[in-house]
Structures are given as structure tokens and as C-alpha cells.
Amino acid sequence: MADTKKLMLRALAGETLPVPPIWMMRQAGRYLPEYRATRAQAGDFLSLCYNPELAAEVTLQPIRRYGFDAAILFADILLLPQALGADLWFVTGEGPRLSTITTPDELAKLKPVEAIHDTLNPIYETVRILSRELPKETTLIGFAGAPWTVATYMIAGRGTPDQGPAHQLIAEDRATFEGLLDRLTEGTIDYLSKQIEAGAEVVKLFDSWAGSLKGADFDRYALEPAKRIIAALKSRHPDTPVIAFPREAGERYVGFAKATGADCVALDNSVSPEWAAEHVQVDGCVQGNLASSHMVTGGQALVDETRHIVQAFSKGPHIFNLGHGITPDADPANVQLMIDTVRGG
């Protein structure tokens, strides 16, 4: 049973707190000199992800530096497709590349879901290390990419500005697309379940490209997989909260928690906190939603917007976070300014 005294878990249980718990997407990352040093020691990004001791170290670094209320496992959403048999590599300065899945034959060559743990065991070991080493007040978050977002990378072989290749596959061969989505949904359930068994106290589902789905496709490919994953996790781990992040869902944030069973909906910064308080927070905990650009520019604008968000969400359960991951050009001093502002310093 989780320690319900932890601020993060109290907010996720629906409690309105005088000061919201804080963590930050990509809080372990390139904006920190200590991260860059550890990454150099690992050799490359994937070697860092699969080295439990070093992955745990970079997860702990922002906790030591800032005292965030939660730590999020250091990994990558594309480790699951790699575990399913896709080739994965990273191009310096450009990001990930994968072998593509666009035909029935390519889909058929993927490994069965039960085989993923051979590849992902080092990730579970990282979780075990963190559950031992984190401060007792710090909540440990596990995560995975949502099936739609992961599928967009597997279909295109890389990130794309509009997820065009995935939308094209839906139009031309919906059966293959849905077969891939189904495999990813089942794999995500098992992957997150293993993270929880290893010690994750909360899990988060990142649907970074949910906003490119419209109408019935949003329901079918963003909402329904999240609902299926959350229902399966709740049946196995009824006490573990789930955060859903259908980024840039806009109006579709409304009712998303109720429709999927999520304990919290994370918000990007394209929606105002006042609107989200009125339309989304009424259903439970929300997370967000400071623009990550403030971590670069800092100053009074950072202080003012941080206070604005805290105030707007102050009448309900809220976890303070960014609306997107912190960027490599962010100033570590601005992170401390944000934390001090939230906590009333």
C-alpha cells in the first residue's frame, strides 16, 4: 500500500492542498550539468537508459538539487517498440530513428508481448533501485508512451511535425494500423504493470501527439487505448494512480478523466488554467501547466505566471508542472525560482 502521506499521492487521491506538489517533465535531462556528465560516462543515450545504476543516478540528480515532490523514471517511450523487435537508434542532434512498421508482414514480425521483458528488465531494475534510494517523501513515477504516439514513431521511423505517415496508414490500411495499436496497448499494460511491481507508485501515460487526432479518431485511438490500459492496470494494481496526458487535446480534455478512469489529467499550456479549472479540474486532479519557455527566459514573467497557475487551480487538487518537457537550453536557476514561487518563497 502506498504511503498516503506523500504530497503527490494526496493530490492524486483528490485532496486540495495549500501548496501543490511539484515535479517537472524531463526534470532529469540536458539542462543539468550533472546529467551531461553522467550521460558522457554512459557513452550514449540508449546505453544510459539500459544501465540501471546510471539511469537511477540521473533520476536522483534533480531530486538532490531541487527537492521535487516526485521523481520520474529515466527511460524513453521508444524502448517498448525496441522490446517488440523494432530497430532503434538515435542520431545526434536529430533524435530517434526506428525501422518502420507499415505492412501486415512487418507487423507480423514483431515479437509477442510476453517477450518484451527480456529487453526491459534493466528498466525494472532502475525502478527497484529508485524505490530504495529516493527520499521517503518523494513519489516515484513510472511511465510509458501512449499507443497512438508510439505508433506514430514506428510508422514514420522518426518524429514528424504532423504525424502524417500514421494518418496515411489509417486511411490506406486501417487493419494494419489497428493491429499495431492493439499490440502496443497490450505491451503498454504489461510494461507499466511490471514498473508498478518493481516499485513505481504512480504511472503516467504520455500521448504527446494526441492533439493531431480529431473526432472519432481521437476517441478510437487516444481515448479508448487509455481507457483499456487504465482498466487493466486498475484490475491488477487498484491502489496505483494513473496520470493521463493527451497533449494538445484542447476541448477533448473535458471529460477525459471520467471517460478513461485516469486519476489525473496533465495539461499542456495551450489551455488557460482558468478554463481548465472550470472544465477539467471539476472531475479531479489536474497537472500543469507552465509554458516550458519560462524555464529559459525566467524573470518576473516566470514568477507572475507561476503564481497565476497556482491561484487558478487553488480550489481543487493540483500538481504543479510544466505544459511540456523542460528544454535543454533552460537555466537551472529558473527551475529553483519556479519552485520557490510555488512554495511561497
**DSSP run (H or E) holding 247:** none
**Quick one: pLDDT at residue 4?**
56
Which listed residue (124, 153, 191, 253) is catalytic?
153
Which listed residue (10, 39, 183, 228) is catalytic?
39
Active site residue 183: no
Q: What DSSP assignment string belongs to 283-305?
A: GSEEEEEE-TTHHHH-HHHHHHH
Where do the H-state alpha helices sit in 210-314? 215-218, 224-236, 256-260, 273-279, 294-297, 299-312
Span 92-107, pLDDT tens digits: 888 999 999 999 999 9
Whether the predicted pLDDT of 339 surpasses 90: yes
Q: DSSP class of residue 250?
A: G
- C-alpha span between 314 and 317 (Å, rounded): 8
Residues 6+ apart with CB under 8 A from 114: 190
Structure-block grid coordinates of residue 269: 499550456
**Quick one: pLDDT at residue 332?**
98
Which listed residue (26, 183, 228, 247) is catalytic?
26
Active site residue 236: no
**How does residue 300 score in pLDDT terms, banded at 50, 70 and 90?**
very high
Active site residue 153: yes
Domains and CATH numbers, the chain: 7-342 (3.20.20.210)
Distance of CA 179 to the CA centre of its chain: 23
Span 136-169, pLDDT tens digits: 999 999 999 999 999 999 999 999 999 999 999 9
**Quick one: pLDDT at residue 286?**
98
pTM over 0.75: yes
Which listed residue (30, 36, 65, 128) is catalytic?
30
Active site residue 76: yes
**Quick one: pLDDT at residue 149?**
98
Which listed residue (76, 173, 182, 217) is catalytic?
76
- What 3-state class would DSSP assign to 120? helix
**Quick one: pLDDT at residue 93?**
83
Q: Residues, the chain, total?
A: 345
Active site residue 307: no
Whether the predicted pLDDT of 1 surpasses 60: no
